Chains A and B, each alone.
Chain A
Amino acid sequence: MHNHTPQPGQERFVAPAIDTELPTAVDVDTSHPPESQWKQAWKSLRSNWIFWFSAILLLLVLVVVCFPTLFTSVDPRSADLSNSLGKPQPGHIFGFDRQGYDVFARTIHGARASVIIGLLTTLIVTIVGLLTGAIAGFFGGWVDTIISRAADIFFAIPLLLAAIVGLSALNNVWPNRGYWGGVSAVVIALAVFGWPQITRIARGAVMEIKNLEFVDAARSLGASKWRNLFTHIIPNALPPVIVTATVSLGVYIVAEATLSFLGIGLPPSVVSWGNDIAAAQPQVRSGDNLHVLFFPAGALAMTVLSFMLLGDAVRDALDPKARK
Chain B
Amino acid sequence: MTQPLLEVSDLHIDFSVDKRSVNAVRGLNMTIYPGQTVAIVGESGSGKSTTAHAIIDLLPGTGKVTQGSIRYEGTDLVKLPARKRRGYRGSHIGLVPQDPLSNLNPLYKVGAQIREVLEVNNVAKGKAADARVVELLEEAGLPDAKRRAQQYPHEFSGGMRQRALIAAGLAARPKLLIADEPTSALDVTVQKQILDHLDDLTSELGVAVLLITHDLGLAAERADHLVVMYKGEVVESGPALAILQDPQHPYSKRLINAAPSLQSERVSAQERTAIRRAAQEHVSEETEVDVETPAMQIQSLTKVFKLPGKGFSKTDLIAAQQVSFDLARGTTTALVGESGSGKSTVARMVLGLETPTEGHVYFDGVDISTITSRDQQLKFRRRIQPVFQNPYASLDPMFSIYEAIEEPLVVHQVGSKTEREERVRTLLDQVSLPHTVMNRYPNELSGGQRQRVAIARALALNPEVLVLDEAVSALDVLVQDQILQLLNDLQVELGLSYLFITHDLAVVRQIADDVLVMQGGRVVEQADANSIFNNPQEPYTQKLLAAIPGRDIPLAG
Contacts and interface: CB of A to CB of B under 8 A. Distances in A.
Interface of A: 1-4, 6-15, 17, 19-20, 22-23, 25-26, 28-30, 34-37, 40, 212-214, 216-224, 227, 232, 235-236
Interface in B336-388: 351-353, 374, 377-378, 381-382, 384-386, 388
Contact of B386 (A14, A220, A223): A220
Given A6-B238, A9-B4, A17-B249, A34 B353 contact: no
A10 B393 contact: no
Given A25-B449, A35-B441, 5 more contacts: A9-B29, A10-B31, A37-B397, A220-B352, A221-B461
Top 4 A-B pairs, shortest CB-CB distance:
A9-B31, A12-B238, A222-B381, A213-B394
A292 B332 CA distance: 82
A286 to B, nearest CB: 54
B512 interface: no
A13 B243 CA distance: 10
Contact of A213 (B224, B390, B411): B390
21 contacts: A2-B224, A2-B240, A9-B31, A10-B237, A13-B234, A13-B237, A15-B234, A26-B433, A26-B452, A28-B449, A37-B443, A217-B457, A221-B407, A221-B411, A221-B412, A222-B382, A222-B408, A222-B411, A223-B407, A224-B374, A236-B397
B521 to A, nearest CB: 21
Interface in B390-405: 390, 393-400
Contact of B388 (A13, A19, A217): A217
A137 to B, nearest CB: 17
B60 interface: no
A1 B434 contact: no
Nearest to B252: A14
B440 A34 contact: yes
Interface of B: 2, 4, 7, 29-31, 33, 220-221, 224-225, 230-231, 233-243, 248-251, 254, 351-353, 374, 377-378, 381-382, 384-386, 388-390, 393-400, 407-408, 411-412, 432-434, 436-437, 439-441, 443-445, 448-449, 452, 454, 457-458, 460-461, 478-479, 482, 553
Nearest to B4: A9
Nearest to B237: A13
A90 to B, nearest CB: 49
A236 B29 CA distance: 46
B137 to A, nearest CB: 29
Contact of A20 (B231, B243, B388): B231
A213 B388 contact: yes
A17 B382 CA distance: 47
The B interface is mostly helix, strand or loop, or mixed, namely mixed
A2 B235 CA distance: 21
A1 B31 contact: no
Nearest to A222: B381
B7 A36 contact: no
A15 B235 contact: yes
A17 B412 CA distance: 50
A214 B482 contact: no
Nearest to A236: B398
Contact of A28 (B386, B445, B461): B445
B223 to A, nearest CB: 8
B33 to A, nearest CB: 6
Contact of A10 (B231, B239, B250, B381): B239
Nearest to B351: A220
B233 A14 contact: no
Given A1-B553, A9-B4, A217 B31 contact: no
Contacts of B452: 25-26
Contacts of B2: 7
B131 to A, nearest CB: 35
B413 to A, nearest CB: 10
B381 A22 contact: no
B407 A22 contact: no
A34 B397 contact: no
Contacts of A220: 351-353, 381, 384-386
B396 A236 contact: yes
Contact of B238 (A13, A36, A212, A214): A13
B400 A34 contact: yes
A216 B411 contact: no
Contacts of A29: 444
Contact of A216 (B224, B254, B386, B439): B386
A28 B440 contact: yes
Given A10-B239, A19-B233, A22-B251, A222 B398 contact: no
Contact of A25 (B239, B390, B432, B441): B432
B388 A14 contact: no
User: Which of B221, B249, B433 has the most chain A CB atoms closer than 10 A to its own CB?
Assistant: B249
Contact of B478 (A11, A23, A235): A23
Contacts of B437: 28
Contacts of B407: 218, 221, 223
B235 A20 contact: yes
Contacts of A36: 398, 400, 441
B274 to A, nearest CB: 23
